[in-house]
């Protein structure tokens, strides 16, 4: 059995009854990290000694009858903008290369309390903005489906590691698509929760009003398992929502009869030009949903460029508010892409920033009104498959993910096929605020009705071919 390709749901069932050892499982991941990650660069910092000690403790606790739940003994990775007590949190930047937090991020604390094993800190775009860069202290992560290609970002190491079987799950963050983008190009499930459902405290901020933390896993079911632990009110995060937490696992299954799906077709048929294979995969996925009992109608929203450009305006403004002092004093400690993207925020006037947030209120009202008639919105996550590493610029062109950072509505990316070149294609499912469980239910239903979750990157073969 390939332990590294088990899902959380599969591994948890085995760990609970003593058929799988957390120590054996964690060791299997480190064996694979040592063997393969030099070609993927998904990890900035493996934390083997601490992880093995934590796995041994988990094993002893479970053997003593103290199983904490389905994350107990599960090996995960953290995007290196999640603070970890006593362990460097660099943001993949020379500026923070010696930054050692004294506390874990709240989400990390919740994961540890649930018994998850932290394998290490994962690559990211510098401070979660820009793109794959070669002028930082560490190289950019690569795509395990083809290591010449971009894994997407900014949660690049998270997407790469989960797809490659170098972590069973990982944490990402998403300000304009940074969970869903790498989920898309790496062929995994990535969930950007409703804004306020998860605490952001202890995560290096990029854009206070747009940043979201969220899980990246092989399946929607695994994202649901992670969400059960991660979601919760944090009185010290000013954006945290004090709302009841759904029973995510209970929401899965049970069919999709009566589910109403809206498709903003103009987003990906006229507002930008999709890869024909992406469009064909989307249309095929919609047919699957119809066969599962859902009804589908087209809906119209504001042009995609409006969501995208206002998102960029707000991101740059808020990011510059954080980084302005450092960019004036030590710009040389940033890579070019991050440096320039954040510097651009210095040129946004206060009037334009406030009016961007006023326009955002209108967009939230518009999407809310549309979603009175449909339960979910569906579209491709990315209109193209993964490009060659280094060639992608996230600041260029409309983005299908940004509408759900602008509105804060939950959005999930799942794999819905592969291109003729063998690269993953993805479907995005968005829902109403705090109806993340319905989004995940729809993702889970599709994954179980199709065969895509049975396909994994043949990394050993890819690497052998690259070496020859």
Partner 1 sequence: MSEISFEARVRATGLKPKAEDMPKLEALVKDMDRAAELVRGPRAYSEEPLSAFRLKKA
Name the β-bridge partners of 319: none
Alpha-helical (H) ranges within 140-275 are 156-164, 180-186, 220-230, 248-251, 265-269
Q: In angstroms, rounded to a whole number, what is the distance separating the alpha carbons of residues 94 and 110? A: 29
The SS3 assignment for 388 reads strand
Min separation Cβ 438 and partner 1, Å:
23
Q: Which is nearer to partner 1, 249 or 346 (CB)?
A: 346
Q: Which is nearer to partner 1, 147 or 175 (CB)?
A: 175
How far are the Cα atoms of 76, 79, 215, 451 from residue 153, in angstroms, in the given order?
A: 18, 11, 14, 26
Min separation Cβ 336 and partner 1, Å:
7
Q: Six-digit token pair at 265?
A: 């077709």
Q: In angstroms, rounded to a whole number, what is the distance separating the alpha carbons of residues 456 and 187? A: 9
Min separation Cβ 410 and partner 1, Å:
17
Binding residues for partner 1 (CB under 8 A): 208-209, 235, 238-239, 242, 306, 309-310, 312-313, 316, 327-328, 331, 336, 339-341, 343-349, 352, 354-362, 364, 395
Q: Which is nearer to partner 1, 275 or 309 (CB)?
A: 309
Q: Which is nearer to partner 1, 144 or 408 (CB)?
A: 408
In 208-320 the beta strands, taken as DSSP E runs, fall at 212-217, 260-263, 295-298
Q: In angstroms, rounded to a whole number, what is the distance separating the alpha carbons of residues 78 and 44? A: 10
Residue 439: how many CB atoms within 10 A of its CB?
30
Whether the Cβ atoms of residue 95 and residue 136 lie closer than 8 Å to each other: no
How far are the Cα atoms of 193, 201, 207, 367, 389 from residue 211, in angstroms, in the given order?
A: 10, 11, 6, 19, 25
Min separation Cβ 169 and partner 1, Å:
28
- Give the residue among 349, 107, 303 at the shortest CA–CA distance from 211: 107
**Catalytic annotation, residues:** 79, 154, 178
Q: In angstroms, rounded to a whole number, what is the distance separating the alpha carbons of residues 191 and 439? A: 9
Determine how β-strand 169-174 pairs with β-strand 75-79: parallel
DSSP output for 419-433: -TTS-EEEEEEEEST
Min separation Cβ 175 and partner 1, Å:
14
Min separation Cβ 332 and partner 1, Å:
9
Q: Which is nearer to partner 1, 2 or 242 (CB)?
A: 242
- Give the residue among 157, 181, 182, 187 at the shortest CA–CA distance from 81: 157
Whether the Cβ atoms of residue 7 and residue 217 lie closer than 8 Å to each other: yes
Q: Which is nearer to partner 1, 278 or 406 (CB)?
A: 406
Min separation Cβ 318 and partner 1, Å:
11
Q: In angstroms, rounded to a whole number, what is the distance separating the alpha carbons of residues 345 and 177? A: 19
Q: Which is nearer to partner 1, 280 or 321 (CB)?
A: 321
Q: Which is nearer to partner 1, 14 or 239 (CB)?
A: 239
- Give the residue among 198, 197, 161 at the shortest CA–CA distance from 82: 198
DSSP 8-state class, residue 123: -
Q: Six-digit token pair at 3?
A: 């332990």
Min separation Cβ 266 and partner 1, Å:
17
């Amino acid at each position: 059995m390939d332990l590294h390709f088990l899902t959380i749901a599969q591994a948890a069932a085995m760990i609970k009854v003593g058929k799988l050892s957390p120590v054996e499982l964690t060791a299997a991941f480190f064996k694979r990290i040592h063997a393969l990650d030099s070609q993927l660069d998904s990890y900035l910092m493996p934390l083997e000694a601490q992880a093995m000690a934590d796995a041994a403790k988990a094993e002893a606790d479970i053997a003593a009858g103290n199983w904490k739940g389905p994350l107990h003994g599960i090996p995960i990775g953290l995007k290196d903008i999640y603070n970890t007590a006593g362990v460097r949190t660099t943001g993949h930047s020379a500026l923070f290369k010696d930054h050692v937090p004294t506390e874990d991020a709240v989400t990390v604390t919740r994961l540890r309390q649930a018994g998850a094993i932290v394998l290490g800190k994962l690559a990211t775009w510098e401070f979660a903005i820009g793109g794959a860069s070669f002028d930082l202290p560490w190289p950019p992560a690569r795509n395990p489906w083809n290591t010449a290609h971009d894994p997407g970002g900014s949660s690049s190491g998270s997407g790469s590691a989960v797809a490659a079987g170098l972590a069973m799950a990982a944490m990402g963050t998403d300000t304009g698509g940074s969970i869903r983008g790498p989920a898309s190009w790496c062929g995994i499930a990535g969930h950007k929760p409703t804004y306020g459902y998860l605490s952001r405290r202890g995560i290096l901020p990029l854009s206070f009003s747009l940043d979201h933390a969220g899980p990246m896993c092989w399946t929607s079911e695994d994202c649901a398992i992670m969400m059960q632990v991660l979601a919760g009110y944090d009185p010290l995060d000013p954006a945290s929502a004090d709302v009841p937490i759904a029973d995510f696992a209970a929401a899965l299954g049970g069919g999709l009869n009566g589910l109403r799906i809206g498709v903003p077709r103009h987003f990906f048929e006229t507002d930008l030009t999709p890869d024909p294979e992406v469009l064909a995969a989307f249309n095929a996925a919609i047919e699957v949903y119809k066969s599962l009992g859902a009804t589908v109608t087209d809906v119209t929203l504001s042009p995609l460029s409006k969501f995208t450009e206002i998102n960029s305006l707000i991101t740059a403004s808020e990011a510059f508010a954080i980084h302005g002092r450092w960019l004036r004093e030590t710009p040389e400690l940033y890579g070019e892409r991050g440096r320039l993207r954040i510097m651009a925020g210095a040129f946004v006037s206060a009037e334009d920033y406030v009016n961007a947030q006023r326009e955002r209120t209108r967009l939230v009202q518009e999407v809310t009104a549309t979603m009175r008639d449909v339960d979910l919105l569906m579209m491709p996550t990315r209109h193209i498959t993964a490009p060659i590493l280094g060639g992608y610029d996230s600041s260029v062109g409309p983005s299908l993910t940004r509408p759900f950072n602008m509105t804060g509505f939950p959005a999930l990316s799942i794999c819905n096929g592969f291109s003729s070149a063998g690269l993953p294609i993805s479907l995005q499912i968005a829902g109403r605020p705090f109806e993340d469980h319905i989004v995940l239910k729809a993702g889970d239903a599709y994954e179980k009705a199709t065969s895509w979750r049975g396909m994994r990157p043949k990394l050993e073969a890819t690497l052998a071919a690259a070496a020859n």
